[in-house]
Each structure stands twice: as C-alpha cells, then as structure tokens.
Amino acid sequence: MVCGMSRPVIGICTALERARWSVWDEQAVLLPRSYVSAVQRAGGLAVMLAPDAAAAEDPSQLLELIDGLVLAGGADIDPASYGQPAHPKTTHTVPERDAFEIALVREAIERDLPVLGICRGMQLINVACGGTLLQHLPERFGHHEHRRVVGSFDGADHDVELREGTLARRVVGEHRHGTKSHHHQGVDRLGEGLVVSGVSAMDGLPEAIELAGARFVLGVQWHPEADESSVVVGALVAAAEEAARGVPG
C-alpha cells in the first residue's frame, strides 16, 4: 500500500452503538478520537472500519486496502463466540461486530499483516485464536482495580510487568510499565500460538499477549491511545510501514 512518501494505512475497527449527537439519536458506527489521533501522531493514515457482514465472510478485499489493523476497545465480546454461556455481568454484546473482527484477525494473521489489539481488542485476538475469557474479574481476584471508575480513566493507572525477550517488552522499552486500564474481563485460556508477554503487577492477570513467530501481532489490555507519551500505537504504525515496503519481519 505504501509507495513513495505515502503514509501507511491503518484500519481501526469501530464500535456499533446507539449514539446521540446534535438532534440525532440512532445507531452509529463510532470510535473515540484518541485512537485516530494516536495513529496520526505516529505518521499513519487512519481509516475507520465499520462492521460489514460480507467482509466477515470474506475479509480479503478489505485487508488489501490497509497496511495494519487496530482492534479498539468497547463492548464485551459475546461469549457464544468462545463457547460459553453469558455471565450476568456480560452485557451489551454486539455479535455483528465480534464476527467481523474475528474474521479480520484470522485473515490478517494468515497474511502476516501487523495487528494491535487494545483492551477488548486484546481479548478479541485471544478469542480469534481459540482462547476463552474470564467474564468478570472481581469474581476471580476479589477486587475492582482493573476498572475503578466506569466510563473514565481517572485513577485508572496501574503497573504491568513485561517479560524479557518479547515483542511487548521491545515495544515499550521497560520491564515495569505504567498503564491506563478500564476493563472487567480478561484472558483465561490462551488461544493457539499465543504467549503471555506481560502481566498485571497487582494480581498476575495477563495484560499483554502476542503471537509467536508473527511479524507483529500484539494485544495489550491497557489503553495506549489514552496516553500521548505511549509508543505502542507508533510501533504498530512502524511495523505496518515496514510490511508495506516489503521489509522482512
């Protein structure tokens, strides 16, 4: 996709939610501006990818248009997609979005296209690779520290410990990394080929996963787009540019 001085094209999957703006109140495809801004600051061209039933059946045409894929945060993933009944705290699922993003991730991995999953996006990578989720973390860990204030990153900072020799550690550049967190679910059984590359310093919950042997398939449970000093989104953009130019992974 990249030629000359063109920017790498980064597709960011959108939410599908009811929203209000101006005089309108209706279903909308939407994305917090922070994701777009993070891609743009890193030199990428951000393109929003709305759920598309035809692309869920065959994502090849869509993936031909982009150099890298970002899976944004948002609604709980429908547990039917990983073979479990819904927990009472699993709410507001959007199966249409889940099916679209799972198809994109699987095909992107086949193509060795760089992928970054953020929060829900990390969980989505795990599900796409055959893994499962813990549907309500307080039941396992006995605290609400991963989502202290619903709908806000206020007071949401906590540390993640990143493992030596992993992509996550190379990207972040330090062993202990301060993050902004907002989630009540997490990775349980790992999907095929995935490894845990970072854990919460609070309780050992997986907070970074990656696909062994891939050019760049990384999931982070925190929100780097909410931190202008974070280099995580920039690393995805750089990997996408290298892939588009044919630089070996």
Domain boundaries 9-18+25-244, corresponding CATH code: 3.40.50.880
* List 101, 177, 223, 241, catalytic entry: 223
pLDDT at position 154 over 80: no
Position 213 pLDDT exceeds 70: yes
Catalytic option among 101, 107, 119, 182: 119
- Summarize the confidence of residues 78-103 as an average pLDDT: 95
**161 catalytic residue (yes or no):** no
| Residue 155 predicted with pLDDT over 80 | no
**Quick check: is 184 catalytic?**
no
Among residues of the chain, what percentage have pLDDT more than 90? Answer: 80
Q: Which of 207, 210, 225, 242 is catalytic?
A: 225
Asked if the model's pLDDT at residue 100 lies above 80, the reply is: yes
Residue, of 233 and 4, whose pLDDT is higher: 233
pTM over 0.85: yes
Give long-range contacts, CB 8 A cutoff, 24+ apart: 144-149. 144/184, 145/202, 145/203, 146/181, 146/182, 146/183, 146/184, 146/186, 146/200, 146/205, 147/181, 147/182, 147/183, 147/184
Domain definitions of the chain by residue range: 9-18+25-244
Q: Which residue did the predictor score with more confidence, 155 or 60?
A: 60
**Is 225 in the active site?**
yes
At 145, the pLDDT band (50, 70, 90 cuts) reads low
151 pLDDT band (50/70/90 cuts)? low
Q: For residues 121 and 71, what is the distance between their CA atoms, to the nearest angstrom?
A: 5
Over range 192-199, report the average pLDDT: 97
- What is the average per-residue pLDDT within 229-237? 97
